[in-house]
């Protein structure tokens, strides 16, 4: 019941006037329930008393008008309910999307979180709404039932006792069905997510080339078949239990009407008036229906509230980094220092081990090393996607662990090797928002020129207003790998970060294009602090300082000349890569 109350509170918090509307609904439904019982009693009495037909028709007309008026009001209430349902679900779904701003990065590495979050996105809004209106439905049915109980109870209490007893038993059975449904959904969710992954792979354009030219399709379909088999297995294990419980419950509910009417007939048939017995017959029918509705409503509410646990747990997740009001980073960027920083993803194996860095405003820093050396992990620490396991990072002498992540990322930004593009306009892909004025338009063009993407964008019919991807627009722009990385660089320029991290953003570019990009980066000026993450050492020659990573440690540090003079690992790597590029150029000549 806890999650039902939470759901109702959430609904009333967003739509407080809904309480008045639901009160009107309860009054109307109670009136509509009592009217048939009262009308039958009055008609029979009038016939017995030989009342004038005009009086009878007048009474019927009056009751009919009340009935029609109640139903007309009910139509408007139903329209209002539909309006509330549509908007409430939309607003709830936004809550789940916004929750990502308050969920730490490492949550996304947990299969349990992914299962729960996708479950909340797909089903959470519906479950919360159904739980909220389920509480209201139960209150309505209870009030309706009380009026009928009073009528029948005056004749014999056993009829009411039997109906309530059957309702309790059926309610218990529905609870069992609810628990089985929840168990089935929990067991099926990992396999449903696997199946969803296969479905997504088969309609994403990026995977089409592999699907058409390799045998990966067979592997994916095999995994899909296994996921389907597991889902079916869960259903097979639980369906017999659910069927038996449902059958027993249906028999019990079906018995309420004949038993109730039989009890009333047996104990009252000699003394009761025909009019009263006729109205009691309608009351018995209504009682049977209301008990059935009540138990079904309770069962449905239980089903929904059990599922509501997942979305509410997602909404109540607590993070250590995201969405927490630490202290904002003070002033413009002046320095960054990494002191004895170590990090482990699994708390056992260190990915970074006692890293020490010092970066001043305006410096151009290169971090180099082979794949898996820990370079990208360092970037994630500098963006505070993770906190260090040991050691500390300071920005402007403020400890990262006491700074608000949002304020930090307004000053520190990154362009990654794997670039994500979105099905919105090129302008929106660069600014990450809609352009507001001419200054925004000018900034976009400057960013495109800086990244070297301007010539291609200007050749498009709609220019910067061209939609990216063709998922929703057949004339959308399709970028090559190198163009996507140039787009990412344009984003970094437009965001105007004070500390700009480039995590191998030019890996898809040829050496000449890459050199041009890095020259542009250097031309940003002294006010920009840039960290280059790369395994290509030819881009590091002009860096103020170079840090060479190997197995999570810094093994060499200095500028290019200093590292070459060491005759160490850096020099060997640089000469090896330089000879490779020279060899490629010779072959081209």
Domain that holds residue 66: 2-315
Q: How many domains would you assign to the chain?
A: 3
- 170-184, 225-239, 311-325, range with greatest mean pLDDT: 311-325
Write out pLDDT tens, residues 205-254.
667 666 655 677 777 788 888 888 888 787 777 777 777 777 677 676 66
pLDDT class for 58, splitting at 50, 70, 90? confident
Write out pLDDT tens, residues 556-587.
999 999 999 999 999 988 888 777 655 544 44
- In the structure encoding, which two tokens stand for residue 185, read together? 């959904």
The pLDDT of residue 419 is 79
Tally of residues, the chain: 589
Q: For residue 494, tell me if it sits in a domain.
A: no
Tell me: do 368 and 384 sit in the same domain.
Answer: yes
- Report the pLDDT averaged over residues 62-68: 78
Tell me: do 373 and 409 sit in the same domain.
Answer: yes
DSSP state of 329: P
How far is the C-alpha of 6 from the C-alpha of 533, rounded, in Å? 48
Rounded to a whole number, what is the largest CA-CA distance in the chain? 122
Q: Where are the alpha helices (H) located in 202-273, listed in sequence order? A: 208-213, 216-254, 256-268
Cα separations in angstroms, 253 against 193, 425, 552? 38, 59, 68
For residue 134, is pLDDT > 50? yes
Tell me: do 271 and 178 sit in the same domain.
Answer: yes
- Report the pLDDT averaged over residues 115-143: 86
DSSP state of 120: I
How far is the C-alpha of 528 from the C-alpha of 381, rounded, in Å? 20
Tell me: do 116 and 84 sit in the same domain.
Answer: yes
How far is the C-alpha of 507 from the C-alpha of 511, rounded, in Å? 9
Q: What is the CATH number of the domain that holds 564?
A: 3.40.50.300
Mean pLDDT check: name the lowest of 217-221, 309-313, 400-404, 458-462. 217-221
pLDDT greater at residue 577 or residue 453: 453
For residue 454, is pLDDT > 80? yes
How far is the C-alpha of 276 from the C-alpha of 38, rounded, in Å? 10
The pLDDT of residue 87 is 86
Q: What is the CATH number of the domain that holds 8?
A: 1.20.1560.10
Tell me: do 255 and 348 sit in the same domain.
Answer: no
Tell me: do 228 and 351 sit in the same domain.
Answer: no
Q: For residue 285, tell me if it sits in a domain.
A: yes
The pLDDT of residue 342 is 95
Sequence-ordered strand ranges (E) for 371-432? 390-395, 398-399, 412-415
pLDDT class for 404, splitting at 50, 70, 90? very high
Tell me: do 14 and 103 sit in the same domain.
Answer: yes
The pLDDT of residue 47 is 67
Domain boundary among 280, 315, 350: 315
DSSP state of 207: G
């Amino acid at each position: 019941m806890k999650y039902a109350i939470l759901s109702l509170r959430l609904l009333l918090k967003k739509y407080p006037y809904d309480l008045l509307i639901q009160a009107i609904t309860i009054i109307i439904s109670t009136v509509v329930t009592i009217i048939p019982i009262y009308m039958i009693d009055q008609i029979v009495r009038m016939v017995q008393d030989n009342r004038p037909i005009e009086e009878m028709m007048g009474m019927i007309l009056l009751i009919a008008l009340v009935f029609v008026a109640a139903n007309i009001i009910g139509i408007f209430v139903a329209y209002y309910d539909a309006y509330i349902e549509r908007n409430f679900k939309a607003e709830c779904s936004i809550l789940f999307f916004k929750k990502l701003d308050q969920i730490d990065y490492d949550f996304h590495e947990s299969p349990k979180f992914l299962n729960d979050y996708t479950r909340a996105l797909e089903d959470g809004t519906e479950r919360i709404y159904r739980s909220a209106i389920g509480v209201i439905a139960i209150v309505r049915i209870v009030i309706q039932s009380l009026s009928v109980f009073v009528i029948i109870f005056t004749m014999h209490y056993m009829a009411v006792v039997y109906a309530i007893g059957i309702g309790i038993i059926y309610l218990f059975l529905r609870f069992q069905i609810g628990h089985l449904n929840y168990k089935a959904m929990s067991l099926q969710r990992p396999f449903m997510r696997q199946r969803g992954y296969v479905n997504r792979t088969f309609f994403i354009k990026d995977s089409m080339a592999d699907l058409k030219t390799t045998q990966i399709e067979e592997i994916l379909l095999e995994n899909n078949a296994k996921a389907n088999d597991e889902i079916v297995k869960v259903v097979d294990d639980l369906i017999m239990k659910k069927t038996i419980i449902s059958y027993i419950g249906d028999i019990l509910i079906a018995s309420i009407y004949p038993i109730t009417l039989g009890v009333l007939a047996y104990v009252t048939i000699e003394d009761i008036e025909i009019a009263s017995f006729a109205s009691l017959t309608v009351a018995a029918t209504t009682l049977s229906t209301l008990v059935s509705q009540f138990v079904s409503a309770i069962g449905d509410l239980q089903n929904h509230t059990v599922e509501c646990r997942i979305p509410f747990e997602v909404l109540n997740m607590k993070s250590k980094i995201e969405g927490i009001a630490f202290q904002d980073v003070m002033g413009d960027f002046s320095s960054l220092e990494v002191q004895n920083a170590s990090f482990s993803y699994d708390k056992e194996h260190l990915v970074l081990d006692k890293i020490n860095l010092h970066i001043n405003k305006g410096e151009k820093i290169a971090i180099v090393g082979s794949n898996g050396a820990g370079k990208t992990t360092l970037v994630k620490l500098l963006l505070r996607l993770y906190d260090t396991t040991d050691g500390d990072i300071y920005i402007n002498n403020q400890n990262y662990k006491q700074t608000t992540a949002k304020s930090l990322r307004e000053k520190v930004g990154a362009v990654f090797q794997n670039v994500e593009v979105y099905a919105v306009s090129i302008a929106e892909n660069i600014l990450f928002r809609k352009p507001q004025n001419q200054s925004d338009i000018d900034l976009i063009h400057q960013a495109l020129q800086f990244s070297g993407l301007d010539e291609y964008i200007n050749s498009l019919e709609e220019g910067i207003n061209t939609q990216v991807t063709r998922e929703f627009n057949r004339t959308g722009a399709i970028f090559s790998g190198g163009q996507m990385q140039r787009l990412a660089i344009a984003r970094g320029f437009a965001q105007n970060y004070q500390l700009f991290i480039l995590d191998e953003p030019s890996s898809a570019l040829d050496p000449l294009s890459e050199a041009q990009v890095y020259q542009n980066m250097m031309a940003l000026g002294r006010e920009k602090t840039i960290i280059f993450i790369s395994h290509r050492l030819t881009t590091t020659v002009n860096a103020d300082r170079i840090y060479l990573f190997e197995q999570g440690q810094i093994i060499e540090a200095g500028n290019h000349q200093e590292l070459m003079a060491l005759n160490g690992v850096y020099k060997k790597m640089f000469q090896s890569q330089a000879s490779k590029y020279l060899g490629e150029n010779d072959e081209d000549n």
